[in-house]
Amino acid sequence: MLKLAVALFFLGLNGYVYWYMGNDEVIPPRTDFAEFPDVLGDWKCEDRDVLDPAILNNLKLTDYLACNYYNEPENEAVHLYIGYHERQTRDRNTGEVAAIHPPEHCLPGSGWDVIDSKVVPTDFGIPGEAKRFVIAKGRQRALVYFWYQSNGRVVARNHHKIFWMFLDRTLHARTDGSLVRFTVPIQFDQSEEAAEASFKELAARVAPLLPAYIPN
């Protein structure tokens, strides 16, 4: 009963934010992801991904970064995706929502099964929490880390994101936010611990740069 009450509360809160607080947002200044470095130590992004127009229309992104970063000396690869929304509200005319899509809702539709999932502290140079997944599709496996970041806050749970967005809208007239996601393929001859080390090495280089692109 308590879980149902909590779910209904956040559902109502979400609707309130979208329908009644959708105008006059403050859009904070930021640096475009076009300026994000392609070289981070030994990690290099050689060719950025360009998302399909249909995907962009579905996600309602303001700006994004998507690229495989390679560490050739160590034969490592990590895919980095950051999607930024300058506002997360429902358009009163069209009804379209510009909210961040939780990754765990998209993975099953892409054929991936979540075989391990937990929330962990971010111990790579940024305070907060992240969601850690191990996913599988056939013989493929991958390690996924993601978090929601906005207004200097890093959270892992979708209902926390909605709660803080409501407070930020009330106190600061802001609904901007972002999803930061790292995906590390786990090779057949590689351990999960090795994929974890690759993620943390790149994340430690990315995290300190984020406030310029995701405003505090």
pLDDT per position as a tens digit, 160-202: 988 988 888 888 899 999 999 999 999 887 889 999 999 999 9
Rounded CA separation 161/154 (Å): 9
Domain coverage including residue 160: 2-212
User: Dmax of the chain from CA atoms?
Assistant: 54
pLDDT score recorded for residue 110:
76
What pTM was computed for the model?
0.85
Rounded mean pLDDT of the chain? 86
pLDDT score recorded for residue 22:
47
CB 142 within 8 A of CB 184: yes
Task: Compute CA 198 distance to the chain's CA centroid, rounded to the nearest angstrom.
Answer: 18
CB 178 within 8 A of CB 33: no
pLDDT score recorded for residue 60:
87
Lookup result for tokens 């929304």 = 85
Count how many domains the chain has: 1
Q: What are the pLDDT digits (tens) for 45-103?
A: 999 999 999 888 888 899 999 999 999 998 999 999 999 999 887 666 666 667 788 88
The upper half-sphere exposure of residue 95, i.e. CA atoms within 13 Å in the direction of its Cβ, equals 0
32-50: average pLDDT: 97
CB 47 within 8 A of CB 79: no
